[in-house]
Amino acid sequence: MDAQATASRASLLLSFALATAIWTLGVITIGGAFYPGYDQAGQFISELGAVDAPTYPWAGWLGFIPIGIFQCLFCLTAARRAPRSGLAIAGFVALCGYGVGAIAGGIFPCDAGSGCMPAEPSASQMLHNAIGGGGYLIGVLGLTLVSAAALSWPRARWLGAAGLAAAAVAFTALSGLEALPEWRGALQRTAEAAFLIWFVACGWWLRKR
């Protein structure tokens, strides 16, 4: 019975990772299709959930919030499944901040006509930026910690190296948002892809463990 329960949790773990990736891709693709003139390369994902967007409010409540929940479920389940160490647990808990940021993005939408960067932001916009932006940063930290721990896991050195590379890619992309505003959509999606590809890889490894 214990073996069956362990196998079930392992399969569920990979399902959370895949659901996060597929749901994110779906929101970006479907949301962009229903938003006339939306520029995937130049606009933030959050703009799909802005209060004046044609995809408001479903992009937030049916998109960002479920994505964040799946991310948190993956991280908490992975923390129990992965080889135990303080570094790994701290990393997965920090990675939950990435999911919390997505949830906050759905609860606190961007202001109308602002591109999520208004000169005089509302309380909703300030919370959106603070929690969402902070979620990315703490997510990069969490990914770095987990990946460093994974370097010592059995037959998982590749996973640790991939995670450190993904953290570097995500941090570099996020660092370029202000310097390259015309490419902010592409940069944000690059950071998202780095996180999500590693989530799926980690889920696959933990399922096989």
- The list of the chain residues with pLDDT below 50 reads 1
Given the structure tokens 């010592």, which residue do they identify?
152
Burial class (CB in 10 A: 0-12, 13-18, 19+), 8: exposed
Q: For residue 93, what are the contacts with CB-CB under 8 A and spacing of at least 6?
A: 75, 79, 142
Q: What is the pLDDT of residue 159?
A: 98
Q: Which residues contact 96 (CB under 8 A, 6 or more apart)?
A: 71, 72, 75, 76, 142
Q: 87 Cβ partners below 8 Å, 6+ apart?
A: 145, 146, 148, 149
On whether the pTM is more than 0.85, the answer is yes
At 18, which helix (H) or strand (E)? helix 2-33
Of 54, 69, 47, which is closest to residue 115 (Cα–Cα)?
A: 47
In Å, what is the CA distance from 183 to each residue of 73, 125, 188?
Answer: 31, 21, 9
Q: What is the pLDDT of residue 1?
A: 42
For 97, 117, 169, 170, 183, the CA distances from 195, given in Å and listed in that order, are 13, 24, 9, 7, 19
Give pLDDT, residue 6. Answer: 64
pLDDT of residue 105: 97
- Are 71 and 20 in contact, with CB atoms under 8 Å apart? yes
**What CA–CA distance (Å, rounded) separates 169 from 140?**
10
What is the per-residue pLDDT for 3? 60
